[in-house]
Structure formats: structure tokens, C-alpha cells
Amino acid sequence: MQLNLKRRSLARFIFIVVGASLQLGLLGIASAQGNAAMELTLSQAIDLALRQNRSLKMAQLSVVEREQKKKIARSDYFPQIGNQSSAFHLTAVQQLVIPEATLGAGIPPKTAVIGQGTFTAYTSGTGLSQSLTKIFRTHQETRSATADINSAKIQMKQAEQDIALKVRQLYYGILIAQLQRDAAKQGEYAAQVIFQEKTSSVEQGSALEAAALQSHAELLSAKAAVQAQDLQIRDLTLELNDLLGLPLKTQLQLSEESSAVAESIPARDECIRTAREQSPEIRVAQQAVEKARAVLAAAKDAYIPDVSGFARFSYQSGIPFLVHNFGSFGVLFTYDLFDGGRRNAEISDSRTMLSQAELNLANAEQEVTIQVETAYDKVEQMQSLVTAAEESLKAQTEATRVAERQVEQNEALGSASAEAAAKTSSAKASLLEAILGLSLAQGELKRTIGEIPR
């Protein structure tokens, strides 16, 4: 009696699990029908990211900002034209008094008072000035600004490479997760068949109830594996949507194109040489050295006296002994005789910055070499994994064929065929995962040598 109650409980539990699975499946189908998926190939995804990614737009704006700063620095090459006007009131003015007959008989006939200007005066002058020696410093500032622009452009190109590589990683990650989910579904089906067989054996009395409970636990574990893959696919899709600049809830249908086939890559030495010429890290470090040299030269130019030429046309009213309209031109010479050691300190600081930039360049060259070596080793390792996965798939396919023949000849239970099919599906997923991993490793190598991994 107690055994019958347990059997009924197991049967009722199976009915609940199967019913819930069917309900979830129907909900998933309805959701899929309600939201049309956006079809994307890898190249389309990369192009979309390069157009819409917000981080890349920020890098583009950084280039524009540096270009504007260069224009500001270049403006000192040109003469400055300005106007200076003033109005002022005096509390007292000097007067010239000539007593009577001071200049001769009857001259002046009486005491004369001659005013010198008025209490309120006005001046206005428009002039042009050009620094003659500041051009040297302006040249170095422009040189430094050019280095900043080049660095911003290199960093923008580096951002494009990083984004393309990230899209490649997420794209392949979703494909791999989908294949692993399919394999997990196959494993769930195999676990379901085994559970049914064990339950039937328990009911017939040919197996212990513990075997059914163990198979039930394996079935639940298989279902949990499927749910885990579903969550991973969802998380990766959210991240990819954000990277592509799409709404986060956009449904994606990724093409299982064979774009992950092995690509031909240059020899190791050729990759290292190319990386030293095109690597963004090295090129940015080179521009930092160029900027540091320009800053040092500008600091030295601070010792050059400031010689400026000027020409000015002025108008005045109320100032004595000056006509209303007059012109003036000349040269201005200024030089700081003592600045408390400021210029020497700036030169020393600039030399330190140059030494740091040169050391950073040497470190960048060394690090890029290590990155190329590591990426190349990973490519070779992934090629070996692809070969091993192909052999494993061949062996598992043959094992599945044998299992199916045994089931057809009633030499094995149906679960043997289901288990073999699940293992074959897992082997296929492993092979594609290895192929995608190889393509990803090649993309990382391309990014290291300064190419966009498409």
C-alpha cells in the first residue's frame, strides 16, 4: 500500500513537471511571435556598433575638442587688433597764466589765463600688435596641440578596434550559449527518458526506488542547466544591445554564418614588426614623447625677450597739446629679469616629463611584443583545440550511430540513443565553440597589431 502511494506521488510529480514545461514552452512561443527578432550577421553588428556606440562618439568628440584647442594655439601667429577707449574726469587742471605786458609792450594787453585741457576727457584708440619673438613659443604650443590631436585620433581608432573585438566576443558568446542550450535541451530529453525508464522499472519491481529518485535528481539538474543557459543568453544579449546602441529589449537573431573559419595570419615575426608600427599603444606613447619635447622647447623659449611691434590710430578730446586724431607706431620690449626660478623649474619639470614619456614608450613596445606573443600562442592553441574537437565529434557521431542501431535491434534501451544524441550535440557545440574561440583569438591578434577585427 505504501509503495503504491509513493508511485502515485511520483506520477503526480511527473505530470506537474511536464505540464509546467509545456506551459513555459507555450509562453515562450507566444513571446517570440509577439516580438520580431532583428537579424544580424557579425559584420552587420560591427558596422552598427561603429555607427551608434556612445563610447565611440565620445572619442570622436574628443578629436574635435583637440582640433579646436589647436586653433586656439595657432591664433597667436596672427596680429591682434583691438580697441581701447576711456572716459575720465579730473578734479583739477593746471592753467597757464601770462601777466599783462610780459611778452613786450602791450603784449598781452591784460593778464591772460590759458586752460590746459578740460575736466572731462575722452580717448579711443584702435591698434594692431604683433609679437615677433612669441612666435617661437607659439610654434611649440601648436606642435604640442598637434600631438594631442594625433593621440585622440589614435585613441579613437583604438576604441573602434576595442568595440569591434567586444562585439565579436559577445556575438560568438551568444552563439556558443545557444548551442550549449541546445545541447542542454538534448541532455534534458535524455534525462527525461531515463527517468521514465527508471520509474517504469520501479513500478515493475525490477529496480529500486532509489534509482528513480537519482534519475529524477539528474532530470532536475538538466533542467537547471537549460535555465542557466537561457539566463546567460539573456545577459549577453542585453550587453550586446547596449554595445550596438539598440534598445535593451531588442530581440536578436544572430546568423550562424561560418565567419569563424580559420583565417590566414602572418608569421610571428611579421606580426611583431607590424605591431611595433601600428599598435595604438605604441603610437600614443610616441605622440606623448613628441608633446613632451614640444613642452620642453616652449619652456626654454620663455627666456627669449618679448619683442612686439604695434601701430595705433587714436582719437582724444580734452587732453592738452594733442590733436584730436593722431597715429602712433613702434616696438615694445619686455623681459623678466627675475622670476624666482620659475623658468628653470619649468624646464626641469619638462625634462622629467620627457624622460617619463620616453620610458613609457619603451614599456609600451615591450608590452605590445608580449601581447603579440601571447595572442599568437593562443591562436596556435585554439587551432589544436579545433583539431581535437573535430576528432571528438567524429568519434561521438560513430558512437551515436552504434547506439541507435542497438536500440533498433532491441539490444539497448531507448535512453542509450538519447544519451548518445545528447553527447553528439554537446560535441558539436564544443567544436563550434573551439572554432569560434579560434576566430576570437585571431581577432585579438589583429587588434594587438593595430587592425580592426572584423
Give the type of residue at 21: S
Label the pairing between strands 120-131 and 306-317.
antiparallel
Q: Which three cell numbers stand for residue 186?
A: 538534448
pLDDT in the model for residue 423? 80
Q: Which three cell numbers stand for residue 209?
A: 526506488
* Cβ atoms of residues 368 and 448 within 8 Å: yes
Answer positive or negative: Cα dihedral of 438, 442, 448, 454: negative
The predicted model scores a pTM of 0.70
Label the pairing between strands 38-40 and 252-254.
parallel
In CATH terms, the fold of domain 36-448 is Outer membrane efflux proteins (OEP) (1.20.1600)
pLDDT in the model for residue 96? 75
**DSSP state string for 277-315:** HH-HHHHHHHHHHHHHHHHHHHHHHTTS-EEEEEEEEEE
Give pLDDT tens digits for 91-128.
877 777 778 777 777 777 887 777 777 888 889 999 99
C-alpha 445: how far from chain center: 18
Sequence-distant (6+) residues with CB within 8 A of 177 are: 229, 232, 233, 236
| Distance between CA atoms of residues 108 and 85, nearest Å | 39
| Distance between CA atoms of residues 60 and 26, nearest Å | 46
The 10 Å CB-count burial string (b at 16+, else e) for 143-169 is bbbbbbbbbbbbbbbbbbbbbbbbbbb
Q: Which three cell numbers stand for residue 200?
A: 517504469
Which residue numbers in the chain have pLDDT < 70?
1-35, 202-203, 205-209, 211-212, 257-263, 411-415, 454
316, 318, 321, 323 alpha-carbon torsion, rounded to 10°: 30
Judged by DSSP in three states, 121 sits in strand
Of the candidates 15, 34, 46, the residue with the CA atom closest to the CA atom of residue 439: 46
Give the type of residue at 126: T
Of the candidates 424, 67, 62, 415, the residue with the CA atom closest to the CA atom of residue 219: 415
pLDDT in the model for residue 350? 94
Of the candidates 73, 75, 77, the residue with the CA atom closest to the CA atom of residue 142: 73
CA–CA distances in Å: residue 127 to residues 85, 321, 330: 11, 22, 11
| Distance between CA atoms of residues 433 and 355, nearest Å | 46
pLDDT in the model for residue 432? 80
